[in-house]
């Protein structure tokens, strides 16, 4: 606890952290508002799914460019410029949203585009604003901000949507972003030692070269490939659920879409928090990661099967209570699959390939979520949300069965691999 207090006391870290808090709150608030409004106006899950596509495309196309820019430009200037442009886009959106519904997609795309430059610069700035000894605490605080930002953004957006309406809430979000820019402006200059014109092309080339090398390593090593695919699958499942939030809330829980944050996101986040604590305790007691992952996948799948087959068939209040339990358990199971998988990857990945393996996760998951999100939205549109949730649960069950047998082989392979390295 003392280390956390000392980290927060660092003046420059506090300015950067405040910017991150505001950024996470605004982006989650806007995401929920736009998802809710598009669903209420169109009633189409396909229309809602294109919000995720609009958000993902800039990450696929401009993500590598933003990552290189963070290494060759003044990070402080990049962050300030990105936030100011985001604030301008959000402000203009608050004025014209009622005339053009599908302007929402352009706003999401543009906001995400600027985010591809802000986020890498923010992450690259962290080692410059805290000393090395406090980096673990700083990263932990940033991680907690992301999780709490998701919950608070979705919950507050729903309440504000009902209380003051869409336009005023968006306008306030744009104004709040100005405080994030002001907070970053208080930081010292974070100039790079490299020159942009010469090294930019070299940096991009090196980035893609390292990415290809990382892909080859992942593909050719079973003990890396399966947990990597598991992490990707978890992200795909999360993305499908997020874009389906409005229809899950209205058709499964049978309540107002604006309450999605309270009845879906909040219990899932609470479950994730409890799951984080329990998994950490189990891992510290040397419980095998394989067992934790297997149980978590089956629980995760069972929750979606229950939401699709049981909740809609029982009494209204019983179904609503059961749905809250399912979302809580799904949040815990998600984390219980995620943490051991990440830990295992860290244990078996050679140190000189660590960055490339983990650096590829965000890019691959973003690319691989687009088609499943559109496909699941199509299923929901034609056959209903129950079938989509049932398909997601059944797929998870099959993955769990595959993991039960495959993970035995992987962990045995790991033992032989370690023996080979030592030999």
Q: Write out the DSSP string of 280-348.
A: HHHHHTT--HHHHHHHHHHHHHHHHHHHHHTGGGS-HHHHHHHHHHHHHHHHHHHHHHHHHHHHHHHHH
Most confidently predicted of 146-150, 216-220, 277-281: 277-281
Task: Answer for the pair 62, 138: CB distance below 8 angstroms, yes or no.
Answer: no
Percent of the chain at pLDDT above 90? 10
pLDDT tens per residue, range 211-231: 566 667 666 766 667 777 777
Confidence at residue 66, expressed as pLDDT on a 0 to 100 scale: 74
Q: 422 falls in which pLDDT band (50, 70, 90)?
A: very low
- What is the value of pTM for the model shown? 0.69
Tokens representing residue 250 in the block: 């209205």
| Residue among 200, 177, 194, 192 at smallest CA distance from 80 | 177
Rg of the chain (C-alpha set): 22
Task: Answer for the pair 53, 104: CB distance below 8 angstroms, yes or no.
Answer: no
d(CA 79, CA 392): 38
Confidence at residue 87, expressed as pLDDT on a 0 to 100 scale: 93
Confidence at residue 116, expressed as pLDDT on a 0 to 100 scale: 82
pLDDT at 268 over 50: yes
d(CA 313, CA 398): 24
For 74-78, 244-248, 357-361, which range has the lowest pLDDT when averaged over its residues? Answer: 357-361
For 91-105, 128-142, 273-287, 290-304, which range has the lowest pLDDT when averaged over its residues? Answer: 128-142
User: Do the domains at 1-194 and 211-423 have one common CATH topology?
Assistant: yes
For 65-69, 168-172, 272-276, which range has the lowest pLDDT when averaged over its residues? Answer: 65-69
Confidence at residue 182, expressed as pLDDT on a 0 to 100 scale: 92
Q: Which CATH architecture describes the domain 1-194?
A: Up-down Bundle (1.20)
Confidence at residue 351, expressed as pLDDT on a 0 to 100 scale: 53
CATH class label, 211-423:
mainly alpha
* Domain map (residue ranges) of the chain: 1-194, 211-423
Confidence at residue 357, expressed as pLDDT on a 0 to 100 scale: 57
The DSSP annotation for 11-53 comes to: HHHHHHHHHHHHHHHHHHHHHHHHHHHHHHHH--HHHHHHHHH
Phi first, then psi: give them for residue 254, nearest 5 degrees.
Answer: 60, 55
Say how many C-beta atoms besides its own lie within 10 A of residue 350's C-beta.
11
What's the mean pLDDT when you consider all of the chain? 78
pLDDT tens per residue, range 189-208: 766 655 544 555 665 565 55
Mean pLDDT of 181-188: 88
Tokens representing residue 38 in the block: 């598009």
């Amino acid at each position: 606890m003392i280390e956390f207090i000392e980290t927060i006391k660092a003046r420059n870290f506090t300015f950067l952290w405040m910017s991150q808090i505001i950024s996470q709150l605004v982006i989650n608030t806007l995401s929920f508002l736009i998802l809710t409004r598009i669903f209420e106006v169109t009633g189409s899950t396909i229309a809602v799914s294109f919000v995720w596509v609009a958000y993902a495309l800039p990450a696929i196309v401009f993500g590598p460019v933003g990552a290189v820019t963070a290494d060759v430009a003044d990070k402080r200037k990049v962050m300030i410029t990105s936030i100011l442009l985001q604030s301008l886009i959000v402000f203009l959106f608050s004025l014209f949203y009622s005339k053009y519904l599908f302007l929402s997609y352009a706003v999401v795309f543009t906001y995400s585009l600027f985010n591809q430059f802000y986020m890498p610069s923010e992450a690259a700035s962290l080692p410059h604003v805290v000393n090395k000894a406090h980096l673990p605490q700083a990263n932990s605080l940033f991680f907690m901000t992301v999780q709490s930002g998701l919950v608070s953004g979705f919950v507050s957006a729903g309440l504000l949507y009902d209380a003051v309406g869409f336009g005023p809430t968006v306008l306030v979000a744009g104004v709040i972003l100005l405080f994030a820019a002001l907070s970053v402006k208080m930081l010292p200059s974070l100039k790079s030692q490299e020159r942009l014109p010469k090294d930019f092309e070299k940096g991009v080339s090196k980035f893609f070269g390292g990415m290809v090398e990382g892909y080859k390593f992942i593909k050719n090593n079973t003990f890396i490939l399966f947990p990597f695919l598991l992490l990707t699958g978890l992200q795909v499942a999360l993305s499908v659920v997020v874009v389906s939030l409005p229809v899950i809330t209205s058709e499964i829980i049978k309540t107002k879409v604006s309450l999605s944050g309270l009845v879906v996101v909040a219990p899932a986040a609470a479950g994730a928090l409890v799951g984080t604590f329990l998994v950490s305790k189990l891992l510290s007691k040397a419980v095998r990661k394989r067992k934790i992952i297997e149980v978590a996948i089956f629980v995760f799948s069972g929750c979606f099967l229950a939401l699709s087959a049981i909740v809609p068939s029982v009494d209204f209040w019983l179904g609503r209570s059961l749905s809250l339990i399912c979302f809580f358990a799904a949040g815990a199971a998600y984390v219980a699959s995620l943490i051991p998988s990440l830990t295992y990857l860290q244990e078996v990945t050679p140190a000189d390939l660590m960055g490339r393996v983990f650096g590829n996760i965000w890019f691959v998951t973003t690319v691989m979520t687009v088609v499943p999100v559109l496909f699941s939205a199509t299923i929901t549109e034609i056959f209903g949300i129950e079938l989509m949730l049932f398909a997601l649960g059944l797929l998870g069950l099959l993955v769990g069965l595959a993991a039960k047998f495959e993970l035995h082989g992987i962990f045995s392979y790991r033992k032989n691999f370690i023996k080979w390295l030592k030999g």
